[in-house]
């Protein structure tokens, strides 16, 4: 018989680490090109003396005082700092370095959730006895990355994903911030409400109008009052403000889909910007599919509206593909069907799933099959150029930030 009076030992507090590489693309370039160290470096398309098209993929910390930031038009970045070092994107190089960095993570835990090529959550709860505590693990990871890769990372340690992420952000660059168990709420309390996930400019204004300036003020409000005012988002904000975030670290499984997403510097409803962004994402996903030697049969669109409302819609293709020409129109239709008038968008993403090898794609022969084969040959040429000269070397005309016809003025007004 089981002793019904026996008590289980209390659960061990979770210890989560968030690692974020600082200015990753630009830092890799500065490491690989010593002459650029200490100088403003901009990674992206060719600026062509301020006439270039395309956008900034990343920039070094030395470039930021000039007002340069990612997703900025490359021509504007050049005008802000013409003496900066402008370099092409070398995605394969960054992925190579990223794989080694993630290899460092795996020394300490197998619970690693990749957020992007340069950012991850690690659950080290079960590793603390072996390596001497979560803080010790975080410091060892920072030291390993610096010693083996010559790069710096910001690390946050806490009992939840949200607090660990906030901690690493506060320490940037080259920071280390650890929040002891049970002190999450006190750590968050003095921070501005803009630090809460899901709070954009509009929601921040609404919170401020209620006198809620700090996270501590949000935590002190009744959850029911916030829910009545903001719906489920209000409940979500109250939980985060009180340090409540039970989401687990989810390790990456064998790739079931290939995707890419981007977060806008400012929420937008500009149809031209949304269309260009969607096409750029389709190009990126197509390149990754071809690089992995697979095709995908289902296109999924991810849209995040302000403040924290995420929608996904999917459509199955008539035949698996690895071509942006076939991914983009489907994604564009899904976007048109998911938008509401006046809704501003914070994030767009495209993923392609149901992956199969090319020989299993089952393309039908004939006129349309020949046209697809021609597009695949063109894509192969573009891939070869990108590998040699960087991803910004060839850009579709639709992605060029040209001024509108029939209207005078500059495109960067």
Q: Which residues are catalytic?
A: 119
Whether 308 and 340 have beta carbons less than 8 Å apart is answered as no
Q: Give the gyration radius of the chain's Cα atoms.
A: 23
Whether 32 and 88 have beta carbons less than 8 Å apart is answered as no
The owner of tokens 């835990």 is 109
The owner of tokens 């992206």 is 44
């Amino acid at each position: 018989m089981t002793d019904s009076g026996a008590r289980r030992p209390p659960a061990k507090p979770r210890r989560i680490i968030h690692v974020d590489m600082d200015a990753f693309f630009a830092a890799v370039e500065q490491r690989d090109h010593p002459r650029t160290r200490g100088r403003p470096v901009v990674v992206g398309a060719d600026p062509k003396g301020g006439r270039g098209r395309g956008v900034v993929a990343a920039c070094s910390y030395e470039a930021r005082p000039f007002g340069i930031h990612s997703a900025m038009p490359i021509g504007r970045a050049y005008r802000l700092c013409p003496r900066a070092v402008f370099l092409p994107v070398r995605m394969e190089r960054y992925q190579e370095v990223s794989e080694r960095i993630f290899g460092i993570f795996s020394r300490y835990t197998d619970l690693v959730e990749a957020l992007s090529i340069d950012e991850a959550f690690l659950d080290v709860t079960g590793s603390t006895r072996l390596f001497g505590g979560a803080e010790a693990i975080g410091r060892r990871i920072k030291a390993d990355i610096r010693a083996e890769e010559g790069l710096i990372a910001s690390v946050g340690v806490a009992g939840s994903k949200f607090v660990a992420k906030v901690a690493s952000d506060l320490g940037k660059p080259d920071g280390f911030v650890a929040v002891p168990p049970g002190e999450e709420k006190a750590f968050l309390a003095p921070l501005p409400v803009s630090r809460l996930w899901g709070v954009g400019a509009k929601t921040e204004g609404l919170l401020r109008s209620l006198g809620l300036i700090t996270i501590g003020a949000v935590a002190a409000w009744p959850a029911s009052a916030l829910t009545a005012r903001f719906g489920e988002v209000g409940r979500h904000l109250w939980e985060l403000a009180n340090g409540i975030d039970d989401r687990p670290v989810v390790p990456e499984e064998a790739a079931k889909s290939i995707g890419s997403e981007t977060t806008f510097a400012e929420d937008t409803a500009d149809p031209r910007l949304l269309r260009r962004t969607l096409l750029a994402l389709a190009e990126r996903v197509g390149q990754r599919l071809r690089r992995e030697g697979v095709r995908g049969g289902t296109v999924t669109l991810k849209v995040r509206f302000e403040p924290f409302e995420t929608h996904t819609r999917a459509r199955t293709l008539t035949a698996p593909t690895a071509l942006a020409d076939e991914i983009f129109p489907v994604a564009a239709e899904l976007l048109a069907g998911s938008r509401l008038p006046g809704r501003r968008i914070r994030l767009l993403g495209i993923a392609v799933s149901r992956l199969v090898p090319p020989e299993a794609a089952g393309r039908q022969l004939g006129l349309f099959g020949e046209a697809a084969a021609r597009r695949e040959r063109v894509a192969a040429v573009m891939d070869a150029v990108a590998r040699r000269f960087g991803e910004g070397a060839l850009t579709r005309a639709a992605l060029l930030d040209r001024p509108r016809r029939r209207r005078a003025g500059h495109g960067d007004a």
